[in-house]
Amino acid sequence: MTKAAHPHRANSLLSLDGRSTEGRLLRKVREELIAHVGGKPSATQKQIIEQICWLRLHITKMDAKALQAGEFSLAAGKQYLAWSNSLERLSRQLGLQGPKQKPPTAAEMVAALHARARAGVAA
């Protein structure tokens, strides 16, 4: 069983030792999702990201158990399906596509044209 990091903190129930497999997975998923929303998630996006992280952890652990056992029990299968559906709904709320790219400014477009001209590339 993984020990909670910083047991005296108010959120210690939601903290894992970052060196554990579970902690590394949570950190990796969190970092990917923060990048997915443009690097600066809103408060609501942060909540969704945390829920997605924990669901991914639980689903991954169930995957490992199923691989060892060769199958899911009926109860485990129902739990897996519920968590997978929740993950899908939260992912849709967060957005399936990343943040929209800002169009280049006029100065960036002029600089790109000059760079292409210096390189001998036709516009």
In the chain (123 residues long), the average pLDDT of successive 10-residue segments reads 45 58 91 92 94 94 88 88 95 81 80 83 56
- Between CA 71 and CA 62 the distance in angstroms is 10
Planar angle of CA 96, 37, 14, nearest 5 degrees: 100
Q: Where are the domains of the chain?
A: 12-98
- Read off the pTM: 0.65
Whose CA is closest to 53, among 29, 24, 21?
29
Q: What pLDDT is stored for residue 121 in this prediction?
A: 61
Query: Dmax over Cα atoms in the chain, in whole Å?
Result: 66
Planar angle of CA 113, 101, 123, nearest 5 degrees: 20
Whose CA is closest to 24, among 53, 65, 59?
53
